[in-house]
Amino acid sequence: MPDRPTFHRVLVAVDGSRHSDLALAMAIALSERDNARLTILTVIPNVNESAALAYGAGVDPIALQLDADRGAERTMRAALDAVPDDQPVESVQRRGHAGPEIVAQAKAGNHDAVVLGARGLGRIGSMFGSVSQHVLHHAGIAVFVGHLPED
């Protein structure tokens, strides 16, 4: 039997969805198993005029951006609270489109594994199906996708 892979720098992307919660639990377990450094990433979407238009007239893009920022902060706090006290952890927030930002952080942080949920919560509907596909195809490192069956 070949040696099992070990990881030293694990990146997990979280967005507060059920699939993201599973990804976080997987990343914590993987980091504990390999005594790896864990980095938790949230990606805050840039809310612009066109996104505001999708919600309908009279919506303030600045208010939408503040809402997105606050949501990401809550998600990060909850994720950090889930990590055992003895587990080294770093937190990173990036802005933009989730797929490219996760890949960029994986490279910038010299990570050797990415864990994310199969689907997640976007500001405008579901987003992680396409995000996980993007990361799978562009990360160039081990990618683990957590998927929970529907209730």
- Per residue in 75-130, pLDDT (tens digit) is 999 999 999 999 999 999 999 999 999 999 999 999 999 999 987 655 444 444 68
Q: Is the pLDDT of residue 149 over 90?
A: no
Structure tokens at 40: 């938790």
Q: What is the pLDDT of residue 120?
A: 66
Q: What is the rounded distance in angstroms from the CA atom of residue 151 to the CA atom of residue 134?
A: 26
Neighbours of 148 (CB within 10 A): 14
Average pLDDT over residues 14-25: 94
* Cα 90–Cα 61–Cα 19 angle in degrees, nearest 5: 40
> In this predicted model, which residue has the larger pLDDT, 27 or 121?
27
**Residue type at 51 in one-letter notation:** A
> In this predicted model, which residue has the larger pLDDT, 19 or 123?
19
Q: What is the pLDDT of residue 147?
A: 87
> In this predicted model, which residue has the larger pLDDT, 127 or 1?
1
Q: What is the pLDDT of residue 81?
A: 97
Mean pLDDT estimate for the chain: 88
Strand bridging mode 121-122 / 142-146 = unpaired
* pLDDT tier at 55, thresholds 50, 70, 90: low
Residues in the chain: 151
